[in-house]
């Protein structure tokens, strides 16, 4: 590889997802779990993907990682990792990337470690596959990895089984496994949801410090904006299989545009304290992903909804540098304020949803 | 140690089993004395004499204690027909049944494990459907039908294996294996189908587990995922059922040993029941029941090796 080629690779994004669609062909119909998502992650940067349960976060992450079964799955669009197209890659080729260049941490450390295999073996396995390390060398490396993720008595842990460790320790082990071969991108799918609050924080701090040390790209998936608030460089908010707003973190918190994001922000009790509870603040339920109705998928739950929202599906439109939102009547714009005022006056939205008293109160005060 | 912790329950089970065996065999309809004497010799005095000799008139608990006390020293009494000590008959016949049964389990597992894994790995495809319907088909065929079919194919048409008879291992190991093969196969077919179905189900569930996804994103090959990551956690119920199915194999051996004219305990039991050879029936039934309990105890121990969560004494329910 020549110097200029190297530079070229360094300049292109680490991960570029372009109009990715992932549908499941089920007896009920086509489930549009991911419906046209575009993202970008640069080296050393953190992207937070936020959305409530069922918004397609896990499917998106597995689709990006090429982990979904081929049967009954329809996938379109492109996923480029350092310029290499992953969507058309065979598993055989993916295996040289999995573990070595892309790694993953899952939600529940109770289930993501093999219950009948010793910790040591679970760590050294990928060292053997990708770095060709065996025996003593691999073992020493494993100890080093366990130490780096803050596990005390690392040597002894190698011989233990997952059930002998606490939840937080297990998640540290899965992170050690993910980091084993120094991947360029780490995808963490709700890495702290199953853990208690104090441990959550430690794990997030650990991910952050490892990411900085290794100049790794990091995707943190969560249903809780608070988790990524102080950590992500950029946040993408997902709703019903789509990204409805995307912005640098600071910008998102300062000037959010999408009514769904507004709802998410309201549901964080205090900004820098990861909240433990599931998002309950937005009344109503996400739409059925089979045959979603025309118009904006958020309309039935949106305080701003107008007639236009019921017929025309909004697409992502730029608001500021790097800030996009998919909404006809964005929060904090004149159009948005007028829409809300109209609904407040009517006592209900164009979708027929009555406005609740808190909204009426805040709107009245404004 | 796990074995020691389990020991009290083993002893309790053995006790219960011996009582049940004794009760069931003692409560068989008909007077054993009448059988022994035959209709023409059965004068009231003769019957009374035989009953006294066998202590048949003592209360059941007393009879049980006598019987189990003797049995513990290896004395099961004598067959009234051949006058052969029951223990000797059992010692001669048990290895035959054990060999056939063990061979059947080994054959069944050797086929079911790869086939069940393949079926799970290819779940929903044609391969899986063919395997599944074949297993269901095999499950529906009674083992004596299988035996007759096997005899027809391998003994009558191909002439490669003997249809009946038995050669002791010590006399000729090769001929011994040849004489054990068809009976073992007849018992193995249904077992194989059961194991295949079971492993398929558990393996499909395991392959959907997060730790399998984790193994995939480590870059582990499919083969290694199947054998190193998924097989062991998928084999818990297979092992348990294999232990329980030993009962089915013993039951099947009664028919199969008779069909193949093999001198095992199954046939011994059948013959003894037919002529109401009370002590023989009791002895053989006890040995069979105890073997069954011991096999399942061993399975229990093996299980703790297979699943470290058990031997470490923590609850597995959390996982
Ligand atoms: N294999 C599949 N077949 C059919 N539908 C699926 C499949 N996998 C996921 N889905 C559906 O896709 C939608 C998105 O699911 P996904 O698991 O990605 O949500 P999520 O955002 O990760 O939610 P959570 O916060 O609960 O993890 C859900 O409606 C789910 O039922
Ligand atoms: S205002 Fe309209 S377009 Fe915007 S989120 Fe609400 S329903 Fe959707
Ligand atoms: Mg999820």
Q: For A229-261, write each residue's pLDDT tens digit.
A: 889 999 999 999 999 999 999 999 999 999 999
Contact A71, B124 (CB under 8 A): yes
Query: Which tens digits make up the pLDDT trace of B59-86?
Result: 889 989 989 999 999 899 888 888 899 9
Q: Would residue A276 count as lying in a domain?
A: no
Strands A323-325, A242-248: pairing is antiparallel
In whole numbers, what is the pLDDT of chain B averaged over residues?
Answer: 89
pLDDT of A40 strictly over 60 = yes
Burial environment of residue A147 by CB neighbours within 10 A (0 to 12, 13 to 18, 19 or more): middle
Q: Tell me the shortest Cα–Cα distance from A204 to chain B, in angstroms.
A: 20
Alpha carbon B41 to its chain's center: 40
Helices assigned H by DSSP within B141-277:
143-150, 173-207, 210-218, 222-224, 231-234, 236-244, 246-259, 265-274
* Contact assignment for A111 to B209 by CB distance below 8 Å: yes
A226 and A266 belong to one structural domain:
no
pLDDT above 80 (res B200): yes
The answer to whether residues B173 and B273 belong to one domain is yes
Q: Is residue B79 part of a domain?
A: no
Does any ligand 1 atom lie closer than 6 A to the CB of residue A49?
no
Domain hosting B155: range is 87-312
Domain count for chain A: 2
Confidence of residue B287 (pLDDT cuts 50, 70, 90): very high
Domain count within chain B: 2
Q: If DSSP codes are grouped into helix, strand and coil, which group holds residue B20?
A: helix
d(CA B288, CA A313): 74
CB A114 within 8 A of CB B229: yes
Residue percentage of chain B with pLDDT more than 90: 57
The pLDDT, as a whole number, for residue B189 is: 93
Atom of ligand 2 nearest to the CA of A296: 8
Residues B29 and B148 in one domain: no
- Is the CB of A268 inside a 6 Å radius of any atom of ligand 2? no
How close, in Å, is residue B307 to chain A by CA atoms?
Answer: 6
The answer to the question of residue A43 being in a domain is yes
Q: Is residue B318 part of a domain?
A: no
> Are both A231 and A83 inside the same structural domain?
yes
Cα–Cα distance between B142 and B147 in angstroms, integer? 9
Q: What is the largest CA-CA distance in chain B?
A: 84
Ligand nearest to the CA of A56: 1
Residue B85 DSSP symbol: B
A113 contacts on B by Cβ (under 8 Å): 211, 214
Q: Chain A residues with CB inside 8 Å of B124's CB?
A: 71
Name every chain A residue with its beta carbon within 8 A of the beta carbon of B215: 114, 125
Query: Bridge partners of A221?
Result: A49, A189
Q: Whose CA is nearest to atom 28 of ligand 1?
A: A54
Is the distance from CB of B292 to CB of B280 less than 8 angstroms?
no
Together in a domain, B61 and B181: no
Contacts of B245 (CB under 8 A, 6+ apart): B191, B194
CA angle centred on A183, ends A181 and A189, rounded to 5°? 115
Is A248 domain-assigned?
no
Q: Residue A210: is its pLDDT beyond 80?
A: yes
Q: Is residue B280 part of a domain?
A: yes
Per-residue confidence at A47, pLDDT binned at 50, 70, 90? very high
Show which of B10, B40, B72 is a domain's final residue: B72
| Within a domain: B80 | no
Q: What mean pLDDT is predicted for residues B114-128?
A: 94
Q: Are residues B26 and B64 in the same domain?
A: yes
Q: How far apart are CA A261 and CA A151, in angstroms?
A: 37
What's the distance, CA B12 to chain centroid?
21
Number of residues assigned to chain A: 366
A266 and A230, same structural domain? no
Q: Give the residue from B143, B242, B251, B250 showing the smallest Cα distance to B198.
A: B242
Do A206 and A319 share a domain, yes or no? no
Pair B302, B156 in one domain? yes
Å between B245 CA and nearest CA of chain A: 25
If asked whether residues B163 and B65 sit together in one domain, one would say no
Whether the CB of A329 sits within 6 Å of ligand 2: yes
Q: How far apart are CA A342 and CA A277, in angstroms?
A: 33
* pLDDT tens per residue, range B211-234: 999 999 999 999 999 999 999 999
Which residue in this structure is represented by tokens 């701003």? A304
Domain boundary among the residues B72, B98, B127 is at: B72
Burial A24-49 (b: 16+ CB within 10 A, else e): beeeeeebbbbbbbbbbbbbebbbbb
Same domain, B47 and B170: no
Residues B107 and B50 in one domain: no
- From the list A114, A130, A164, the residue facing B211 with the nearest CB is A114
Residues in B touching A125 (Cβ below 8 Å): 215, 218, 220
Structure confidence at residue A197 (pLDDT): 81
**A233: DSSP letter:** S
Q: How far is B298 from chain A (nearest CA, A)?
A: 20
> A2: burial class by Cβ within 10 Å (0-12, 13-18, 19+)?
exposed
A325, β-bridge pairs:
A245, A317
Residue A280: pLDDT band (50, 70, 90) is very low
Residues B37 and B139 in one domain: no
Chain A residue numbers touching B232 (CB-CB < 8 A)? 116
Q: Tell me, yes or no, whether B104 lies in a domain.
A: yes
For residue A28, give the CATH number of its domain.
Answer: 3.40.50.300
Q: Say if residue A335's pLDDT is above 90.
A: yes
User: Mean of the pLDDT values across residues A347-362?
Assistant: 76
Averaged pLDDT, A173-196: 92
pLDDT value of residue A281: 65
Of the pLDDT bands very low, low, confident and very high (cuts 50, 70, 90), residue A362 is low
Partners of B228 on chain A (C-beta within 8 Å) are: 117
* B81 found inside a domain: no
Indicate whether A158 and A228 sit together in one domain: yes
Do A86 and A160 belong together in one domain? yes
Same domain (yes/no): B130, B162: yes
- Closest ligand relative to A239 C-alpha: 1
Residues of A with CB under 8 A from a CB of B: 62, 65, 67, 71, 91, 95-100, 102-104, 106-108, 110-117, 125-126, 129-130, 161-164, 174, 177
Tell me, letter by letter, the H, E, C secondary structure of A239-298: ECCEEEEEEEHHHHHHCCCCHHHHHHHHCCCCCCCCCCCCCCCCCCCCCCCECCCCCCCC
* pLDDT for the residue A11: 67
**DSSP run (H or E) holding B90:** helix B86-121
Q: Which residues of B touch A (CB under 8 A)?
A: 124, 209-211, 213-222, 228-229, 232-233, 306-309, 312, 314, 316, 318-319
Residues B306, B239 contacting (CB under 8 angstroms): yes
Whether residue A245 is contained in a domain is answered as no
Residue A357, domain extent = 261-270+289-362
Q: How far does the CA of residue B261 sit from the closest CA of chain A (Å)?
A: 45
- DSSP state, residue A51: -
Whether residues A96 and B221 touch (CB distance < 8 A) is answered with no
The structure's pTM equals: 0.83
B247: in domain:
yes
A240 Cβ closer than 6 Å to some ligand 2 atom: no
Phi, psi of B261 (to 5 degrees): 50, 55
Please report the pLDDT score of residue A10 as a whole number: 59
Transcribe A110-170 into DSSP letters.
TTSS-TTS-HHHHHHHHHHHHH---HHHHHHHHHHHHHHTT-TTHHHHTTS-GGGS-HHHH
**A327 and A202 in one domain?**
no
Looking at the fold, whether B56 and B172 belong to one and the same domain comes out as: no
Contact A67 B124 (CB under 8 A): no
Closest ligand to residue A54's CA: 1
- Residue A44 vs residue B2, higher pLDDT: A44
β-strand partners of A154: none
Tokens of residue A167, six digits = 């939840």
The pLDDT of residue A219 is 97
Decide if B306 and A117 are in contact by the 8 Å CB cutoff: no
Domain match, A12 and A116 both: yes
**pLDDT attached to residue A201:** 87
Same domain, B17 and B47: yes
For residue B120, give the CATH number of its domain. 1.10.3720.10
Evaluate: CB of A241 within 6 angstroms of ligand 1: no
């Amino acid at each position: 590889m020549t110097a200029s080629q190297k530079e070229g690779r360094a300049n292109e994004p680490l991960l570029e997802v372009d109009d990715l669609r992932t549908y499941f062909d089920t007896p009920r119909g086509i489930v549009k779990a991911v419906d046209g998502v575009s993202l970008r992650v640069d080296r050393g940067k953190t992207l937070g993907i936020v959305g409530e349960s069922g918004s397609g976060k896990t499917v998106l992450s597995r689709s990006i990682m090429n982990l979904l079964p081929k049967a009954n799955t329809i996938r379109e669009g492109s996923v480029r990792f350092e310029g290499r197209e992953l969507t058309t890659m065979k598993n055989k080729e993916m295996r040289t990337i999995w573990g070595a260049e892309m790694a993953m941490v899952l939600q529940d450390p109770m289930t993501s470690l093999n219950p009948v295999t010793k910790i040591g073996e679970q760590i050294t396995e990928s060292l053997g596959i990708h770095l060709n390390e065996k025996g003593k060398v691999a073992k020493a490396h494993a100890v080093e990895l366990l130490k780096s993720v803050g596990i005390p008595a690392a040597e002894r842990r190698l011989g233990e089984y997952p059930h002998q460790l606490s939840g937080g320790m297990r998640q540290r082990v899965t992170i050690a496994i993910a980091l084993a071969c120094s991947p360029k991108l780490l995808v963490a799918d709700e890495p702290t949801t199953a853990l208690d609050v104090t441990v959550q924080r430690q794990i997030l701090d650990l991910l952050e410090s490892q990411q900085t040390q290794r100049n790794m790209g990091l995707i943190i998936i969560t249903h809780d904006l608070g988790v990524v608030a102080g950590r992500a460089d950029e946040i993408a908010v997902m709703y019903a299989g789509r990204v409805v707003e995307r912005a640098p973190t600071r910008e998102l918190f300062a000037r959010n545009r999408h009514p769904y994001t507004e709802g998410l922000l309201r549901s964080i009790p205090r900004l820098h304290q990861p909240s433990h509870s599931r998002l309950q603040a937005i009344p109503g339920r996400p739409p059925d992903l089979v045959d979603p109705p025309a118009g904006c998928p958020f309309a039935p739950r949106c305080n701003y909804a107008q007639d236009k929202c019921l017929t025309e599906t909004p697409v992502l439109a730029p608001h500021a540098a790097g800030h996009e939102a998919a909404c006809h009547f964005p929060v904090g714009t004149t159009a948005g304020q007028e829409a809300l005022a109209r609904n407040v006056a009517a006592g209900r939205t164009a979708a027929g949803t009555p406005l609740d008293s808190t909204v009426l109160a805040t709107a009245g005060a404004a | 140690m796990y074995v020691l912790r389990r020991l009290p329950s083993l002893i309790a089970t053995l006790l219960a089993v011996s009582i049940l065996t004794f009760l069931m065999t003692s409560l068989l309809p008909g007077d054993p004395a009448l059988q022994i004497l035959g209709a023409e010799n059965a004068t009231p005095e003769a019957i009374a004499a035989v009953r006294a000799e066998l202590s048949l008139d003592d209360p059941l608990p007393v009879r049980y204690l006598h019987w189990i006390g003797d049995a513990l020293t290896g004395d099961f009494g004598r067959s009234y027909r051949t006058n052969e000590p029951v223990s000797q008959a059992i010692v001669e016949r048990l290895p035959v049944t054990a060999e056939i049964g063990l061979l059947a389990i080994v054959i069944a597992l050797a086929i079911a494990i790869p086939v069940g894994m393949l079926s799970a790995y290819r779940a929903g495809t044609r391969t899986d459907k063919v395997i599944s319907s074949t297993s269901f088909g095999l499950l529906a065929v009674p083992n004596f039908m299988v035996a007759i079919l096997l005899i027809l194919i391998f003994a009558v048409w191909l002439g490669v294996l003997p249809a009946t008879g038995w050669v002791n291992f010590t006399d000729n190991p090769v001929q011994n294996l040849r004489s054990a093969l068809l009976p073992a196969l007849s018992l193995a077919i249904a077992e194989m189908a059961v194991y295949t179905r079971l492993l398929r189900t558990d393996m499909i569930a395991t392959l959907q587990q997060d730790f399998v996804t984790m193994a995939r994103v480590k870059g582990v090959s499919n083969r290694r995922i199947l054998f190193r990551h998924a097989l062991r956690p998928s084999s818990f119920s297979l092992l348990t059922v294999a232990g329980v199915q030993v009962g089915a194999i013993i039951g099947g051996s009664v028919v199969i040993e008779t069909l193949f004219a093999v001198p095992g305990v199954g046939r011994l039991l059948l013959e003894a029941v037919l002529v109401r050879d009370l002590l023989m029936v009791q002895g053989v039934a006890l040995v069979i029941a105890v073997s069954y309990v011991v096999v399942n105890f061993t399975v229990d121990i093996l299980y703790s090796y297979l699943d470290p969560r058990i031997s470490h004494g923590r609850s597995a329910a959390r996982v």
